[in-house]
Amino acid sequence: MWKDKIKEIIYMLENSDINEIEVRFWFKKIKVTKKPPVLNVDSSQLSSDNLNVPNLNKEEPVDSNIDTPKHDSSKRLIEIKSPMPGTFYSSPDPDSASFVSIGDNVNIGDTICIVEAMKIMNEIQAEESGIVEEILVDNSSPVEFDQVLFKLKPSK
Amino acid sequence: MFKKILIANRGEIAIRIIRACKEMDIQTVAVYSKADKNSLHVKFADEAICIGEGPALDSYLNIPRIVAAGEITNADAIHPGYGFLAENANFSKICKENGFTFIGPEAEIIDLMGDKVNARNAAKNAGVPIIPGSNTLSSVDDLLEIADEIGYPVMLKAVAGGGGKGMRVINNANEAEKGFNIIQNEAGMAFNNSEIYVEKFVKNGRHIEVQILSDKFGNHLHLGERECSIQRSNQKLIEESPSLFVDDSLRDELTSKSLQLAKNVNYVGAGTIEYLVDDEKNFYFIEMNTRIQVEHTITEMVCMIDLVKEQIRAYAGIELTIKQENILMNGHAIECRINAEDPFNDFIPSPKRIESLNFAGGIGVRIDSFIYAGYQIPTNYDSMLGKLIVHSSSREKALIRMKRALQETFIEGPKTTLPLLEMIFENKDFNNGNFDINFLSKFLKKIRGKNNESS
């Protein structure tokens, strides 16, 4: 319900000339701001191409051969969710390397992170194997039950 | 004072607590199950943390997840509401061990009052009359001996019982053995404790309870009594305060004994001592509830005291500023419980979608609820949708106001107790205060009889 409202607001914003909408709903205040398009383009793209077209130009050729299957498989990404509320840790201790990084191959049973609850470090294991495509949570930030932590691309 | 309170509950009581916190400038954290993601408490709280799947064991009864939610949100206290973990001594202990103030008693007091035999002894030591009965029974022979002594009928009860489960009336010696075995099994399964005891069965009693409020400085107040006799299988449906049946001398007795018990156990916070009162106005201790109760609202209306705020203050270690002599019982308040169940079909739960609704309004009407049009009632939890409370200067006026408020209230979608409530408020005996704890079951039988005749 709440998410739908935000989607609605974003849609309204995208289809209008205004840059910012602030609404009050169920005692909560939410503000959606549209960033000026120039700020979204990073400097590497600025140097190679002209201002507004680069994104489209670059993606066009990629889209036709490699990106299309990639796009399809991205819909079938495996989501690894937190089994409990707690604090997310990407490594066994602050000085160690992360359990997994983007691009790593993960096998069933591999520990991929820790969710700490009540001072107990709960190792979270992958229930399916795949390649880490996305890590959605920053180290030592709070997570809810069922929150998506990782997205894996299924390995063939 | 606390900066942030996590509410380990759902439904109307979660909202009740959030409201108190907002008015006290305390931040709130709601926890919710996946079945409750569209519930109002999630929207009203400053923060909300999903803690598990729909079944309560995975969410509202899951201590580690609730404590973890408190940790990640930096709450400093946890309010359990009523039901779920409100009277779980282990939860009280774990909250404390993890650095949270539990807005309820220490584990020892919950344990003491949760064990019916220990609670009986605590009451006895405070000079509170208890129903003649036994300590924990060891055998059927034990039961037969004590039943002979106190006289049939007797009531077998689970030591760890509550909520109307683990209870059985034994009318004569022939029923003893069978009853003993059934209740022992039932107690083992329902409460994981098969200890049972026996009490004399008080047939035509009234259920009357006294509200207590205590702080950490040894101050104990009473906020008068509540009449809760309109119930079926120990589930209350209508409550009122004060009770028409309680005269000044009985009130003095009830409240002074209740205060003595609160003092004896060094009680802190809001608590309720329940009594069975017979026709001759003899009263007997039933149990003490160490939490805020569903029906606390009617006491709030007649005493003009916000019990939830006082409860929070008490556990924050603030001394009570209210004095007993300043608590005046103003007029009369009545509460009706609106449940999503079919009162004419054995109270079968009706967890449907709320298609549309209107709650009563106007002077002297209070609604404590959490439903809204479009809300899908989850199947996992209690069927109570809300409470309709009225207050007026006298019982007569409060009755008229409740009838008016019930007429204004409708809920489309689920079957509810509303039509039954309307019928009860038309009943002469009820209106005259002529009832006991058997009123509702007799009333329901009578309606059923009439329906059968007409069809």
pLDDT tens readout for residues A97-135: 999 999 999 999 999 999 998 888 999 999 999 999 999
Q: Report how far residue B357's alpha carbon sits from residue B354's, in angstroms, rounded to the nearest whole number.
A: 7
Residue of B nearest to A87 (CA): B72
Q: Which of A1, A26, A118 sits opposite B68 (nearest CB)?
A: A118
Residue at B120 is within a domain: no
**Do B272 and B341 have their domain in common?**
yes
Residue of A nearest to B63 (CA): A118
Tokens of B173: 């010696």
**Do B242 and B263 have their domain in common?**
yes
What region does B167 belong to: left with phi over 0, alpha with psi -120 to 50, or beta? beta
Q: Report how far residue A2's alpha carbon sits from residue B349's, in angstroms, rounded to the nearest whole number.
A: 28
Kindly report, residue by residue over B234-250, the tens digit of the pLDDT: 899 999 999 999 999 99
Please report the pLDDT score of residue B451 as a whole number: 74
Residue at B405 is within a domain: yes
**Do B188 and B302 have their domain in common?**
no
Q: Report how far residue B76's alpha carbon sits from residue B2's, in angstroms, rounded to the nearest whole number.
A: 6
Across the interface, do A85 and B69 touch by the CB < 8 Å criterion? yes
Residue at B116 is within a domain: no
**Do B35 and B158 have their domain in common?**
no
Please report the pLDDT score of residue A9 as a whole number: 80
Q: Which of A26, A118, A144 sits opposite B67 (nearest CB)?
A: A118
Q: What's the rounded mean pLDDT across residues B159-174?
A: 83
Across the interface, do B73 and A147 touch by the CB < 8 Å criterion? no
Is any Cβ of chain A less than 8 angstroms from the Cβ of B49? yes
**Do B403 and B287 have their domain in common?**
yes
Residues of A with CB under 8 A from a CB of B: 1-2, 26-28, 84-87, 116-120, 142-147
**Do B236 and B186 have their domain in common?**
no
Kindly report, residue by residue over B178-213, the tens digit of the pLDDT: 999 999 988 888 888 889 999 999 888 999 999 999
How many domains, in total, are found in chain B? Answer: 3
Q: Which of B64, B86, B103 is the last residue of a domain?
A: B103
A13 has a pLDDT exceeding 90:
no
Please report the pLDDT score of residue A91 as a whole number: 93
Contact B129, B283 (CB under 8 A): yes
Q: Report how far residue B366's alpha carbon sits from residue B388's, in angstroms, rounded to the nearest whole number.
A: 6
Residue at B112 is within a domain: no
**Do B216 and B196 have their domain in common?**
no
B340 has a pLDDT exceeding 90:
yes
Kindly report, residue by residue over B352-361, the tens digit of the pLDDT: 999 999 999 9
**Do B376 and B232 have their domain in common?**
yes
**Do B8 and B95 have their domain in common?**
yes
Mutation target to probe the A interface, by most A beta carbons within 10 A, among B42, B50, B96, B354 is B50
Please report the pLDDT score of residue A75 as a whole number: 61
How much is the mean pLDDT over chain B?
A: 95
Residue at B266 is within a domain: yes
Kindly report, residue by residue over A21-77, the tens digit of the pLDDT: 877 666 667 778 876 544 444 444 444 444 444 344 434 444 444 444 444 545 689
Closest CA to B286 of B361, B340, B234, B337: B234
Across the interface, do A117 and B71 touch by the CB < 8 Å criterion? yes
Q: What's the rounded mean pLDDT across residues B422-442?
A: 97
Eight-state DSSP code of residue B375: P
Task: Tell me the residue range of the domain where B142 lies.
Answer: 132-200
**Do B242 and B359 have their domain in common?**
yes
φ and ψ at A37, to 5 degrees? -55, -30
Residue at B181: amino acid letter: N
Residue at B118 is within a domain: no
Please report the pLDDT score of residue B55 as a whole number: 93
**Do B59 and B142 have their domain in common?**
no
B220 has a pLDDT exceeding 70:
yes
What region does A44 belong to: left with phi over 0, alpha with psi -120 to 50, or beta? alpha
> What CATH number is given to the structural domain containing B211?
3.30.470.20
> What CATH number is given to the structural domain containing B46?
3.40.50.20
Is any Cβ of chain A less than 8 angstroms from the Cβ of B67? yes
Kindly report, residue by residue over B270-303, the tens digit of the pLDDT: 999 999 999 889 999 999 999 999 999 999 999 9
Residues 6+ apart with CB under 8 A from A114: A88, A89, A92, A99, A121, A122, A123, A124
What CATH code would you report for A78-154?
2.40.50.100
Provide CATH 2.40.50.100 ranges for chain A.
78-154
Q: Report how far residue B226's alpha carbon sits from residue B98's, in angstroms, rounded to the nearest whole number.
A: 36
Q: To the nearest whole percent, how much of chain A has pLDDT over 90?
A: 44
Q: Which residue's entry shows tokens 């079951």?
A: B441
Q: Which residue's entry shows tokens 């009693």?
A: B205
**Do B174 and B299 have their domain in common?**
no
Predicted TM-score (pTM) of the model is 0.83
Distances (CA, A) of B297 to A87, B87, B131, B264: 38, 20, 29, 26
